[in-house]
């Protein structure tokens, strides 16, 4: 529809369109209309420029098309500004994108700053102010500037470690290795168990009470039991020490429940109609699992794995504080005992960054398997 209160013409798009000329009755003489319309309707201005680019020629200038209600094609109504010839109009339209192009790099950069950059800076400033206030209240807590200066020097001098100390990257890798080991063991057990619970009423009635009892137990409460279990003579070996196996077991336990519950939920939500059709087609159990259960349950599985991985990363830090082995969690606690609160804050920062990276990776995987 034409813009209310403004003279306009209709541009026809379609293979049957024939070029015509712009009559004087369709022109407007109000110069202020152009600025207001372009500011309110930038997409229409881009449309005008596209038409000018496609139909401009040296002999005819810009060719417009008058509306014809008998033509079965898509229409768009936009005003024409200024009492000028088509050639002059095309030159004016050619200058519009430099002013109003919303996809220009500077405009995209500005939008990105106001949408993402400015809130991020505000959040950092808020945390910085809280940190400075906390350091003012407690003199033993180093302020943000002092912490940055000390940790920058420490990281520069001890990044690779030495004969008496492991470097900071290796501490993070030690912790990640324990998390990955326990997390993979938990996934290997949790996914089949979740499918069984979701597809079997017997398994659901048998295991649901046990899961609901074990799920609220803190993962660290399992550490003493695991340490006693893996300290038994029959469990001793030269490769893995009892504290390492106990920490891995804690990760295994905390990785179970979110994945089991999400997998069981996804498997239980599959429509019975799909299963009836599969039986009618005499599909094998493996084909039913591969073509029905797995695609429908995969998004729920990945969601459970993402939650489990986040919990596992939090738990390994606390477990390393208890077992006293090398890792980013033990480093955090050890530096606190040594009186270096600034290095404990450095360890906290490393834990947060690694956790954020793990979560971003799992979120991307979760989006990739959505259907």
d(CA 24, CA 126): 60
| Per-chain mean pLDDT for the chain | 75
Q: How confident is the model at residue 103 (pLDDT cuts 50, 70, 90)?
A: low
Measure CA 33 to chain center.
43
pLDDT of residue 119 exceeding 80? yes
156-183 tens-digit pLDDT: 877 776 656 677 888 889 889 889 999 9
Q: Which pLDDT belongs to residue 53? A: 53
Q: Which residue has the higher pLDDT, 37 or 132?
A: 132
d(CA 258, CA 38): 53
Query: CA-based Rg of the chain, rounded to a whole angstrom?
Result: 33
Two structure tokens written together for 190: 């949790």
Two structure tokens written together for 281: 């087609």
Average the pLDDT over each of 87-101, 179-193, 201-215, 242-256 and give the range with the smallest value: 87-101
Q: Which pLDDT belongs to residue 354? A: 92
Q: What percent of the chain has pLDDT over 70?
A: 70
36-72 tens-digit pLDDT: 555 555 555 555 555 555 544 433 443 333 444 444 3
183-209 tens-digit pLDDT: 999 999 999 999 999 999 999 999 999
Beta pairing partners, 76: 11
Closest CA to 220 of 197, 192, 246, 195: 246
* Mean pLDDT value of segment 101-126: 75
295-347 tens-digit pLDDT: 999 999 999 999 999 999 988 888 888 777 778 888 888 888 888 888 889 98
Measure CA 259 to chain center.
20
Two structure tokens written together for 128: 């910085």
pLDDT of residue 236 exceeding 90? no
End-to-end CA distance of the chain: 38
d(CA 369, CA 364): 9
3 state DSSP class of 20: strand
Residue that the structure tokens 């293979």 belong to: 15
Q: Which pLDDT belongs to residue 61? A: 40
In angstroms, what CA-CA distances link 102 with 107, 142, 334? 6, 46, 53
Two structure tokens written together for 215: 């799920």
257-306 tens-digit pLDDT: 999 999 999 998 888 888 888 889 888 889 999 889 999 999 999 999 99
d(CA 308, CA 262): 11
In angstroms, what CA-CA distances link 327 with 6, 210, 291? 71, 33, 42
Buried b (16+ CB within 10 A) or exposed e, 21-31: ebeeebbbeee
Q: Which residue has the higher pLDDT, 369 or 259?
A: 259
DSSP E strand stretches across 175-276: none
Q: Which pLDDT belongs to residue 37? A: 55
Q: Which residue has the higher pLDDT, 209 or 232?
A: 209
Q: Which pLDDT belongs to residue 285? A: 87
């Amino acid at each position: 529809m034409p813009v209310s209160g403004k003279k306009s013409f209709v541009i026809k798009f379609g293979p049957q369109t024939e070029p015509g000329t712009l009559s004087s009755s369709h022109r407007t003489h109000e110069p202020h209309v152009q600025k207001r319309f372009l500011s309110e309707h930038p997409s229409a201005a881009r449309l005008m420029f596209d038409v000018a680019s496609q139909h401009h020629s040296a002999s005819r200038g810009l060719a417009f098309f008058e509306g014809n209600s008998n033509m079965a094609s898509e229409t768009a109504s936009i005003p024409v500004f200024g009492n000028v010839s088509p050639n002059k109009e095309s030159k004016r339209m050619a200058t519009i994108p430099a002013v109003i192009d919303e996809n220009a790099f500077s405009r995209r950069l500005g939008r990105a700053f106001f949408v993402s950059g400015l809130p991020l800076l505000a959040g950092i400033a808020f945390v910085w102010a809280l940190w400075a206030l906390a350091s003012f209240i407690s003199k033993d807590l180093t302020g943000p500037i002092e912490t940055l200066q000390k940790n920058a020097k420490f990281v520069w001098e001890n990044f690779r470690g030495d004969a008496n100390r492991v470097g900071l990257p290796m501490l993070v890798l030690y912790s990640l290795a324990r998390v990955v080991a326990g997390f993979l063991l938990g996934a290997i057990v949790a996914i089949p168990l979740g499918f069984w619970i979701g597809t079997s009423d017997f398994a659901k009635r048998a295991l649901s009470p046990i899961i609901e009892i074990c799920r609220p137990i803190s993962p660290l409460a399992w550490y003493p039991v695991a340490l006693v279990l893996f300290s038994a003579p029959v469990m001793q070996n030269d490769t893995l020490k009892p504290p390492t196996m106990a920490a891995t077991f804690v990760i295994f336990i905390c990785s179970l429940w979110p994945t089991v519950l999400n997998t069981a939920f996804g498997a239980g939500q599959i429509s019975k109609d799909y299963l009836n059709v599969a039986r009618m087609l005499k599909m094998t159990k493996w084909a039913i699992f591969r073509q029905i259960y797995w695609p429908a349950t995969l998004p729920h599985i990945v969601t459970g794995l993402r939650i489990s991985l986040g919990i596992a990363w939090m738990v390994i830090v606390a477990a390393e504080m208890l077992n006293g082995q090398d890792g980013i969690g033990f480093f955090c606690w050890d530096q606190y005992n040594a009186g270096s609160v600034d290095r404990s804050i450095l360890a906290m920062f490393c834990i947060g960054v690694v956790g954020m990276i793990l979560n971003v990776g799992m979120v991307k995987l979760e989006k990739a398997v959505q259907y």
